[in-house]
Amino acid sequence: MNDEVRNESSAETPDSGQGPLRHFRIGRRNVLQSLATGVGAVVFASRASAAHVHQAAAVAADAGATTTADSGLLFLDQHAFDTLASLSEQIVPGARGAKVPEFLDRLLAVESLDTQKRFTQAIGTFERVAREANALPWKALTETQAATLLTKISTAPDSDVTRQAFDRIKGAVSETYYSTEIGMKELGWNGSMTFAPPTACG
């Protein structure tokens, strides 16, 4: 693969353990647990910090990250992005309109190689499942086909790699969505703060 919102310390880096992509990071303790059990730990958390998310996108812009030709993507290739866009909308309706996939692409561009690898592996897991079940890429599944697979994956045991991929993608998508203006209004926010769209950050 190629290549919104509260104040936190400006010294914090994108890979410091905060933000929606922390679901794809494994600390020393979790690494040891994984080695002991053979199962990667899955982290569940509430919605992301706005300042951290905005900062990470700004870093991507300041770094002069190279975008994919004619796509505006910073990290994901078009196929992976389309897969993420489909998954985002299926997991959290409205995520596509809130530009969650675009924002996660920008966030990934400034993440560690390990986090990038885990994210792309998670996307690849959904692609594999779709092709095995329907001989189609995930982005080409019908609503019924996708819903059937998501139900199966989301109810699998916690130790199942497809369940782990689902939990991590769901965590990243939902945190990002509920940190946007649209998502926070769903949570009861009354409009007392001004939000910039994700694309304004990068």
* pLDDT over 50 (residue 15): no
User: 137: pLDDT confidence band, cut at 50, 70 and 90?
Assistant: very high
| Per-residue pLDDT at 118 | 94
User: 25: pLDDT confidence band, cut at 50, 70 and 90?
Assistant: low
Measured CA angle at 20 (ends 12, 114), to 5 deg? 75
pLDDT digits (tens, 9 = 90+) for 64-76: 444 444 469 999 9
User: 131: pLDDT confidence band, cut at 50, 70 and 90?
Assistant: very high
Q: What percent of the chain has pLDDT over 70?
A: 58
Q: Which residue do the tokens 């019924």 mark?
A: 144
Where are the domains positioned within the chain? 20-200
| Per-residue pLDDT at 83 | 97
* pLDDT over 80 (residue 48): no
Q: Is 26 exposed, middle or buried (0-12, 13-18, 19+ CB in 10 A)?
A: middle
Tokens of 149: 């697979």
End-to-end CA distance of the chain: 20
Average pLDDT, the chain: 73
In this prediction, residues 78-92 reach a mean pLDDT of 96
Pair 108, 119: CB distance under 8 Å: yes
Pair 14, 55: CB distance under 8 Å: yes
| Per-residue pLDDT at 106 | 94
Q: Is 112 exposed, middle or buried (0-12, 13-18, 19+ CB in 10 A)?
A: middle
| Per-residue pLDDT at 164 | 95
Instruction: From 93, 180, 176, 161, select the one nearest 122 (Cα to Cα).
Output: 161
| Per-residue pLDDT at 186 | 75
Instruction: From 142, 89, 77, 82, select the one nearest 116 (Cα to Cα).
Output: 77
| Per-residue pLDDT at 180 | 85
Q: Which residue do the tokens 């199942």 mark?
A: 160
Q: Whole-structure pTM over 0.95, yes or no?
A: no
pLDDT digits (tens, 9 = 90+) for 147-189: 999 999 999 999 999 999 999 999 999 999 988 887 787 777 6
Contacts of 62 (CB under 8 A, 6+ apart): none
**Side-chain-facing half-sphere of 108: CA atoms under 13 Å:** 32
CA distances to 34, 56, 74, 149, 181 from 102, rounded to whole Å, are 31, 13, 9, 24, 15
**Side-chain-facing half-sphere of 11: CA atoms under 13 Å:** 0
Phi, psi of 13 (to 5 degrees): -100, 160
